[in-house]
Structure 1
């Protein structure tokens, strides 16, 4: 069974009733007057579906209203009545009214027509204004051309008159100047003629006297000229020799003055050349081997005592951990071993220092290569011993140069030894820090890792917190000198070892150096970064670390480390 509700009367177009009612007698939102003009998309949109202006639910679940929780349940007849009523309402809300659709479409068509007419009117108005403006511009252009022509004619007339006046004045001036010049030249010619006659007579008399005098003078001059040329030649030769001697002396004085000034400046600042540092370390090593070490090894009692000291030092170095108490204890114990009471003799003392430096470097070669954090306690103990043991800084640096070549300086190993003697192949290989086994040199990879381990300890010593300043070779400013020397030698920068060592130095002290030297350190890092990315000196064929796989990997690590330092606060 279905129920229907009476339909509300539709508004008649004759009565002008513009509002439409919904199925419940309420005005629909879609039938309200538009607040503004419709857009083209709205004007051209197709009529809505018959149920677009009606109120309806999407489903029966939305239409049903849950009964109050405290209300008594309805009887089956009541529930059926409610359901039928709701069905009738839903049916009414979906009713399609053709008149409403016609009225909506009529309104959209009227608005579209009005917009079209308005657009045409605006276009016509704009065209008329543009045409009027063009006509006005043409009139102004014609008037301007006429005025310019009049001005040009007037200027031409004035110019012609001015030129005529100038020509007349020039003509009068030229005539007057010609008359005056002719009169002056006539007087001058008359006086010159009188003077010429008198001078001619005097000249003839003078020429005769002059001829006789010249003959005598020519004879005497010829003799003097020969003598003068000989004297002049001797004088010029002597002056040339003296000038050449003075020039050489001046160049020598300039060179000596420059070298003296540079040396004095370096001495005042405590700076040295890379070659000087290498020579000093090499000489220290040679003196150590030829002096104390040779004496101790040749004396059986001293050699036995030296071996006992070595056996005590090696376990102490191997017991290091990252504990301040352990570091202090082992530093104190090693000091007591090397500096007992009563003290050792000079030769035995230097031999003990050499063994101590060798034990530290061997530990750096093995443990630091496997785990770089183990370099920290080793570097702290070394810094404590450098600050407390006399002559240990020179011995340790000499042993470091012995086992890693010129990289602690840094410097390329020269073609001759420190005393000027030429190398043989074995000696040069050993001076470069390479190990040999049965005549075979160690591989480049092993060499790079071993040197990197020792140099990491060295860089940590430079940055170690100490109570008293250490020797100048173990102070933090040495880090700046190290980078400056490395960047100043392209041969070093293109090696794999250089890239690996620069990364180790930046990892250890790059951030602290930025805090100390600020913008200058950043500029130095920019030069290094350019060498790692663009190329050394802007050349793409010269990159930091070279083209080996190890060099490329080290170059990337240097780039990343520099970026981290720049971003650090």
Structure 2
């Protein structure tokens, strides 16, 4: 190990007798400053002289001619400085200690440790070797990753191509079958029409021939004076014939109506029997899977609806009624609520505007310039925030579906950031659109088993609201447009990937699969006119993304949906029923399924 010490220049005779003094680490202001200065100057001058003239100093002799340093031939030639009258004399022990110290310092400054040099060189070599091995390893790993990625992409491309070929082949088979069925139906209708008209014309011709023959016979048998009487008789008979035909036609129509009513009643009984059978099978299946569902944490549609309904009732009774009954709390809640509503209306499809609105809403709910809100006021503000977002979706998204994207981004950020907002938002969502976010059929009793009130509580629970145009409930068109706008917002929220933390299970992407599968399994919901509208909305927002995510399984779901809107299930019952609204929505669903399949070809 090396040691170093500062060296002072040897005094030059040319420069005079002023010499630098070394205290060897002692303070110059101590009591022995005079003594130490004198003794240290002598010994250090001697060490400098020896060091400068020693062979180990390299080219010191040659460099002395160009510097102010001066080298003596020996220690005896060094002049003795004049004594300082202020210094005390040194005893031999002190002189010897100083000389030994100087000698020790000189030895340490001149010492060269080979092990230390070897250790430094070894470290450099090891670092160089490690860096070379690291570079080689990184290159090898990068090449391996690139090769693996290429093989995986080729494999996925082959799988996608095979699946696309299978879907196209199935679609082609279904298209050919549909064309064949349509051709056979047309031919059958043509044959039937021809037979009917031929029979009608033959009957008319026979009747005309009969009348003509009878008239001709009567004309020949009677004289001219009986012609008027014969004509009157003929008119009477024709009137009776017409009356008889009308009576027969009336009886025939009554018979057809009785047959249609009997068939309709039979079909209704069959549907009711099928519904009860499906309900029984579904109940047995749910009972058999109950233990497994509880183990996996999976809930049914009825359980989800009851939980949302219970949360809504708890919010209204435990929070909103308490806030509205307290004048001070109601005033504070109203002040901040009036700040929330304009912010929601200012949302535009701009990332900076979205972030600004989000930050402003967070400051309203978590103010930094005052103490935090009381728990109930905070919950009431979350309730108002959820209501404002849903009302904005009812107005803007219904008019322009692209406006759901920025509104969904703000809602997603709030769901991700605000504690307790997810349960409140989903409860409010269920209140505004009924059981469609789950989806679930509203039962005949409330979530706690009590009967619905007489003032249309069940109709309200189904999502119906008062009409904005006239009195009474909103029409089917108004109801469908409003529900579709809110559900489009919900599907856009499911589409966004979380960045801060996982959201509530009701707002995670797997809920999209649950929603579609539950809807396709619920006959009562599929036969409503709004079902194909919501299916189209779901496919328009997440259909292509779901196909990329779930692949072949989603293709099976698309096949089932396509069959439901084209051929129908069971007795030919198509999705959306026979209403005009359902027919138009079925066509949109059919085109959307074809677009998704062809778009990924």
* TM-score (structure 2 length as normaliser): 0.50
Q: Find the aligned partners of 1:357 and 1:485 in 2 and give their Cα distance.
A: 25
Q: CA deviation at 1:266?
A: 2.7
Distance 1:430 1:488, change over 3 A: same
Q: Find the aligned partners of 1:258 and 1:495 in 2 and give their Cα distance.
A: 25
Q: Find the aligned partners of 2:312 and 2:383 in 1 and give their Cα distance.
A: 9
1:452 equivalent in structure 2: 484
Q: CA deviation at 1:265?
A: 3.1
Q: CA deviation at 1:264?
A: 4.5
Q: Find the aligned partners of 2:431 and 2:329 in 1 and give their Cα distance.
A: 24
Instruction: Say if 1:361 and 1:400, in contact at 8 Å, map to a contact too.
Output: yes
1:434 matches 2:461? no
SS of the aligned residue for 2:497 comes to: coil
1:112 equivalent in structure 2: none
1:285 matches 2:312? yes
CA offsets per residue over residues 62-112 of structure 1, 9 Å max, x none? xxxxxxxxxxxxxxxxxxxxxxxxxxxxxxxxxxxxxxxxxxxxxxxxxxx
2:92 equivalent in structure 1: none
Query: Which one of 332, 335, 344 corresponds to residue 305 of structure 1?
Result: 332
1:255-294 alignment runs, 5 A limit: 262-294=289-321
CA offsets per residue over residues 91-141 of structure 1, 9 Å max, x none? xxxxxxxxxxxxxxxxxxxxxxxxxxxxxxxxxxxxxxxxxxxxxxxxxxx
Q: CA deviation at 1:366?
A: 0.2
1:560 equivalent in structure 2: 591
2:442 equivalent in structure 1: 413
Instruction: Say if 1:462 and 1:478, in contact at 8 Å, map to a contact too.
Output: yes
1:208-247 alignment runs, 5 A limit: none
1:275-354 alignment runs, 5 A limit: 275-341=302-368, 342-354=371-383
2:580 equivalent in structure 1: 549
Instruction: Say if 1:490 and 1:536, in contact at 8 Å, map to a contact too.
Output: no
Query: Which one of 526, 530, 534 corresponds to residue 563 of structure 2?
Result: 530
Query: Which one of 371, 382, 386 corresponds to residue 415 of structure 2?
Result: 386
2:529 equivalent in structure 1: 496
Distance 1:499 1:423, change over 3 A: same
1:400 equivalent in structure 2: 429
Unpaired segments ≥5 residues, structure 2 = 1-281
1:244-255 alignment runs, 5 A limit: none
Q: Find the aligned partners of 2:461 and 2:285 in 1 and give their Cα distance.
A: 32
RMSD: 2.0
Q: CA deviation at 1:359?
A: 0.2
Q: Find the aligned partners of 2:283 and 2:391 in 1 and give their Cα distance.
A: 43
2:495 equivalent in structure 1: 463
* TM-score (structure 1 length as normaliser): 0.53
SS of the aligned residue for 2:445 comes to: coil
Query: Which one of 511, 522, 525 corresponds to residue 478 of structure 1?
Result: 511
1:110-189 alignment runs, 5 A limit: none
Q: Find the aligned partners of 1:453 and 1:316 in 2 and give their Cα distance.
A: 20
Q: Find the aligned partners of 1:447 and 1:389 in 2 and give their Cα distance.
A: 31
Distance 1:330 1:277, change over 3 A: same
Q: CA deviation at 1:271?
A: 2.3
Q: Find the aligned partners of 1:349 and 1:303 in 2 and give their Cα distance.
A: 12
Q: CA deviation at 1:548?
A: 1.5
Instruction: Say if 1:417 and 1:423, in contact at 8 Å, map to a contact too.
Output: yes
Q: Find the aligned partners of 2:307 and 2:292 in 1 and give their Cα distance.
A: 19
Q: CA deviation at 1:277?
A: 0.5
Q: CA deviation at 1:431?
A: 0.8
SS of the aligned residue for 1:411 comes to: coil
Q: Find the aligned partners of 1:393 and 1:486 in 2 and give their Cα distance.
A: 23
2:395 equivalent in structure 1: 366
Instruction: Say if 1:270 and 1:472, in contact at 8 Å, map to a contact too.
Output: no
Paired residue total = 313
Q: Find the aligned partners of 1:323 and 1:384 in 2 and give their Cα distance.
A: 15
Q: CA deviation at 1:270?
A: 4.0
Instruction: Say if 1:320 and 1:326, in contact at 8 Å, map to a contact too.
Output: yes
Q: Find the aligned partners of 2:547 and 2:304 in 1 and give their Cα distance.
A: 26
Distance 1:385 1:424, change over 3 A: same
Q: Find the aligned partners of 1:494 and 1:516 in 2 and give their Cα distance.
A: 29
Distance 1:271 1:534, change over 3 A: same
Instruction: Say if 1:379 and 1:458, in contact at 8 Å, map to a contact too.
Output: yes
CA offsets per residue over residues 21-68 of structure 1, 9 Å max, x none? xxxxxxxxxxxxxxxxxxxxxxxxxxxxxxxxxxxxxxxxxxxxxxxx
SS of the aligned residue for 1:441 comes to: coil
Q: Find the aligned partners of 2:516 and 2:283 in 1 and give their Cα distance.
A: 28
Q: CA deviation at 1:512?
A: 0.8
Larger radius of gyration: 1
Q: Find the aligned partners of 1:511 and 1:349 in 2 and give their Cα distance.
A: 39
Query: Which one of 512, 523, 526 corresponds to residue 545 of structure 2?
Result: 512
